Each structure stands twice: as C-alpha cells, then as structure tokens.
Structure 1
C-alpha cells in the first residue's frame, strides 16, 4: 500500500518530486517546450501495473512539445485553465475537464493564462517515443488560422 498525501497550499504530493518535462529540449521542429514540469504519481514498475499516472504543470506562457505517439492520452485538468491542440482542433480546458487524445494524433498543451495550468495524464508504462509531426501535418497546422499559433 502506498499513500501520497496531497498538500493543496503547495499543490504537490508528499514524496513526489518535480522534474523537467523531458530530459533534453527538443531540437526537431515543434518539439521545443517551455515552463513545464513532470511529476510521476504512479510508476508502473513500482505499482505492478502497465500504466503510469503523471501530473504535468505548465507555467504561464509555457507549452509542451508538439508531438504524436502510438499510445492514447487521457488527460484530466486539475489546476487552472489551458488550451490544447488535438489534431486540427483547439480545445479550451477548464478545471476538472477531461479530454482523450487518440493514437498518432498531434497534440500540444499551452498555458495562456496567468496562473499554473496542471493536468493529470495516464500513459503506457512502456512508452513509445514521441514523434514530431510530419511535413504535411505541419503545413496543415500553419494553413489554418485556428491552429497556426500552436505550430511554433
């Protein structure tokens, strides 16, 4: 049995350490990120399950990489407000909203507000490596005025 008590004043779980979103900044087009931390709440190898549960927090002005991968994302907004690019859709996310990202769908999370934007996400324990969007996907995002701001 494991319990990680939540401290709402610090918005963190006991024994869970924040780390950088990724080990290295992305160098491929769209793979850059800014102002983002990752907190692994459930580790597959420790819990004996095939998935992980992570909390990501994006500082004001921050964003995730623009990527796609084989596994499905299930994202539950836990703090603040943000936006997501999911395929060719821009989704506004508010407190306690839920969104699913299908496999191989380009996506990026953005904090356009003035407070932290945090969300809980499930991923496969044995993850496939995130891939940058294709040239065709990139051009389509840039051609659409709704999605162009997400393609940087």
Structure 2
C-alpha cells in the first residue's frame, strides 16, 4: 500500500504546445508501483486551457474544484465540482477555465508506454 497527500507531490507546469496556465501532479504512476492506471491532478488557473487533442487511451475525470468547460470540438459542456467524465480513446477533448480562480480535476489513464513520461516510469 502507498499513502501520501497530493500536496507532497511536485506540481509541474504542463509545457505541451498550446497549454496555458496549467499544472499537473502525477499522484499515482509506475514510479510508485502502479502497473495498470495512473492518476493525475490538474489545476487550470483562470484564463488557462488545454487545447483540443486526442490519444489512443481513455480518460476518467472527476472535477474537484472550480468550474470549467470540456469540449470535443462539436459539443461544449460546463463541468462543476462533482461532475465526472469519460473520454473514449481517440476522442478529441480540450479543457478551458475562463472564470474560476482554479479549475481542478483528477484524471485517470491507463499505464501505456506512450502515456507516461519517463520520470514517472520508475525503475
């Protein structure tokens, strides 16, 4: 078993092209022994965004704090604390926070070679 607190995990700026005012904390990853799923904690500050993109893996998302918008390019939905989302593999998706101080959410993804950065793969 592994137990920690999210504030004990390093908060890093997301540096992918087009991402603005967004940080990530890798809470659960292969680095601590996870073999099947990774859990990430995102914070999008006011005015921030993660532009529309897509991956070969699914996402499970739970909104923790603030309000923001999720889009697949055809439909945009407001998400509030307690909202949860499922993004199927290869579905375009993007996030935006125009109004809240912070828009914070958990995002769970499968552990795949291409979904986990080298520093989270462990040994």
TM-score past 0.5 threshold: yes
SS of match in other structure, 1:2: coil
Quick check: 1:19 aligned with 2:5?
no
Quick check: 1:104 aligned with 2:90?
yes
Find 1:66's aligned residue among 30, 35, 52.
52
Find 2:108's aligned residue among 122, 129, 133.
122
Structure 1 residues 103 and 87 mapped into 2: Cα distance closer, same or farther (>3 Å)? farther
Q: Which has the higher strand share?
A: 2
Structure 1 residues 116 and 14 mapped into 2: Cα distance closer, same or farther (>3 Å)? closer
Ranges of 4+ aligned residues in structure 1 off by more than 4 Å: none
Kept in 2: contact 1:71–1:124 (CA 8 A): yes
Q: Structure 2: which 5+ runs fail to align?
A: 116-123
SS of match in other structure, 1:126: coil
Q: CA deviation at 1:103?
A: 1.1
Return the structure number with greater relative CO, CA threshold 8 A, min gap 6.
Answer: 2
Size of the alignment, in residue pairs? Answer: 115
Q: Structure 1: which 5+ runs fail to align?
A: 6-12, 27-31, 130-152
TM-score (norm 2): 0.85
Whichever of the two has the greater Rg, that structure is: 1
TM-score (norm 1): 0.69
Find 1:79's aligned residue among 50, 65, 82.
65
